[in-house]
Amino acid sequence: MRKRTGRPSGITTRTRGRTQWRRRCGCLLPLLGGLLMSTAYADNAPTQSDFGGVGLWQTPTARMADDGEVALTASHVQPYDRYNVSLQPLPWLEGIFRYTAVSNRRYGPESLSGSQSYKDKSIDVKVRLWSESHYLPDLSVGARDIGGTGLFAGEYVVMNKRFGPIDASLGMGWGYVGARGDIKNPFSIISDKFDVRPSDNDGTGKFSSNRYFRGPAALFGGISYQTPWDWLVLKAEYDGNNYQHEPQHNNQKQSSPVNIGAVFRPGRNLDLSVAFERGNTVMLGLTLHANMAEGTGPTKLLDPAPPKRNTAAATQTPEQVDWASVARTLRDNAGIQVSSITRRGSEVVVKGEQETYFYNAKSVGRAARVLDNELGAGVDWFTIAAQQEGLTTTETSVNRQRFDELLDHDITLGEFRQSVEHNAPTPRNDDVLYRAPLKRFDQSFALVYAQSLGGPDAFLLYQIAAIYNLDFHFTPNLWWSGVASVDLFDNYDKFKYDAPSDLPRVRTDVRKYITSSTITMPVFQLTGTRQLGQDLYGMAYAGMLESMFGGVGGEVLYRPFGERWAIGSDINWVKQRGYDQDFSFRGYHVVTGHVTGYFDLGYKDVLVAISAGRYLAGDWGATVDVSREFRNGVRMGAYATKTNVSAAQFGEGSFDKGIYVSIPFDLMLPRSTLSRATFVWDPLIRDGGASLGRRYSLYSLTSDRDLDNFNSNLDKIVE
């Protein structure tokens, strides 16, 4: 599958190897809604807690959602409103990010925030240590609010055992999860340091490991009962919190530690919850959930039908074929913008860039049908050489006879798979049958939605803009890119706050960049690529490289064919652009660049990228990005950056970090497309650890060297 590292951002359209201009935050709700009609639903799926994540009401359980599940949960229990997004990137790993609105506390001065309530941001993680068996329970360990202000920070160990329709949990919590604190910390036998939990951190969002599993503890637990009616689940729990140590001295009366309630499931992807908590307070909740790993998308009614096979075998030799007409058919039906067609003995090779189909196998199958309809005997192999921006990355060869047998159902897909070959492109003396004229212009237009959540000005800042993108190719390997943006609607009149910074303002001036002009030019860039060796690629670029910086730079990438690793390096001299995003510059400039290693772990399509180098503010450090891509192209990931900037100098947040989800539009539209929509949640915009937002990366441009997309979706070769 196509994998991408680095921080994706915004609701965006993205073609393979080409990242369109994008804004910083997006909205996951419309993306999830677009998948609801095409996703699988698991009977007796575990329910979400008030805090998000699989649980009862206030307490977590050891259970995990299905692999690939995403859930959006909103809950209200006075004085807290919680908005949670839960991700299940691996069967044993759950991640949650959350906004908590504290209705009886103000965000800040009325002159800045008006009557907006206080907002707290947090990240939770839960890991399953082992799964339930006949004798053993599920056992999980987790932590809440590990990357936020720590107001609701707590850790826990919990186990679950199922008894027919009843699922019972029992756990021990520390911090907010076990704020009742009525039992001695069992870890005290290791060290008396575990007896005392250090005071809350300074609100900078550090990972306060010196507080984990420390201080008094409390037991919690409960049951979930799946009634005989699929639409009704009953839950009861014993809470580990007594609400007498709430953040901001916001203590709440608790008449009973037992919380009870029900979950109603009127639809396949909707849960409605009502509970009675603390013995005196009503909780209301709503959850939208979908399994993104199993979504297949709607039927592609707007795609052209696959080519009909000739009833009589074609008799033309390669030299007799009207290849210009074939190239047009390949573009229209197989999505391949052909650059050349050549012959190697009994093999015909089509070189070109895939512009339509997310699944490579679908394009290869359609191209093979087009060629099969044109050529007579003497051609035994059809090869598609994948190109991106002038770089030829992979050759996929299909045996003609075996492909015909597959279409006739004479062999199975598994038998056909053995005849498919993938090879690294190598220079050969091919006979040129057709060379296409260069496609010079490539343009697109889109409406984009961008938003920022949780700021002091307003909880939601949004913008709707019209984007026009134009590429002009001088040669296959040299092109100019331009992007123009026109602001149509926004509420940026509320955007007044600039975060404090002790570093060069390389990102915290974002307000000025997005409010200074209605018409902007985020990108104005000249780019060139070259294949430096069989596995070595190079790229150079100059111009307005992103909305805040322009300059010059270059990148090299070594990506050996058939391997699950690659290594690359980039270096850039950049200068800060004027706030109007035109051709003007400000005074600040810097040399920035990184060495990046990419490692596909060979486990559930998990990709780890580690970058080390110098960032835009002149700080030195490293970024770790871990992502998992599912068979259908949905990607979930997280990243963190730590540099030589101290936590105090960095400011609130202590270091850069975030979570993202990227969804192919192919899963939501009735036509095939390579575009993506991406949601990224990074709690705060700060200047430390800021990377240049380069438009192209060689790892993306060479994405066809990752053969997982083809091999995992080979069944689409007959579509």
pLDDT digits (tens, 9 = 90+) for 519-556: 999 999 999 999 999 999 999 999 999 999 999 999 99
CA 61 to chain centre: 26
Residue 394 phi, psi (nearest 5): -150, 145
Residue 557 to residue 592: CA distance in whole angstroms: 17
CA 399 to chain centre: 36
User: Which CA distances in Å does 178 have to 155, 158, 181, 242, 249?
Assistant: 8, 12, 6, 8, 17
- What confidence score (pLDDT) does residue 252 get? 96
Residue 212 structure tokens: 């984990």
- What confidence score (pLDDT) does residue 208 get? 60
- Say what the pTM is: 0.89
Place of tokens 């059809």: 382
- What confidence score (pLDDT) does residue 24 get? 39
Residue 225 phi, psi (nearest 5): -120, 115
Residue 489 to residue 495: CA distance in whole angstroms: 14
Residue 600 phi, psi (nearest 5): -85, 115
Enumerate the β-bridge partners of residue 672. Answer: none
Q: Could you please report the per-residue DSSP string of 571-619?
A: EEEEEEEPTT-SS-EEEEEEEEEEEEEEEE-SSTTEEEEEEEEE-TTS-
117 and 103 Cβ atoms separated by less than 8 Å: yes
Q: Given phi > 0 = left and psi -120 to 50 = alpha, else beta, which region is 235?
A: beta
- Residue 332 CB contacts under 8 Å (≥ 6 apart), including other chains: 304
Architecture label for domain 40-291 = Beta Barrel (2.40)
Residue 511: name the closest of 500, 498, 494, 523 by CA. 498
Pick out the chain residues at pLDDT < 70: 1-44, 147-148, 200-209, 311-313, 653
At 396-450, the pLDDT tens digits run: 999 999 999 999 999 999 999 999 999 999 888 889 999 999 999 999 998 888 8
From the CA atom positions of the chain, what is the Rg in Å? Answer: 28
Enumerate the β-bridge partners of residue 48. Answer: 54
Q: Which residues of 443-460 are buried (b: 16+ CB within 10 A; e: fewer)?
A: eeeeebbbbbbbbbbbbe
- Residue 114 CB contacts under 8 Å (≥ 6 apart), including other chains: none
Sign of the CA dihedral running 567, 13, 680, 451: positive
- What confidence score (pLDDT) does residue 17 get? 40
- What confidence score (pLDDT) does residue 239 get? 97
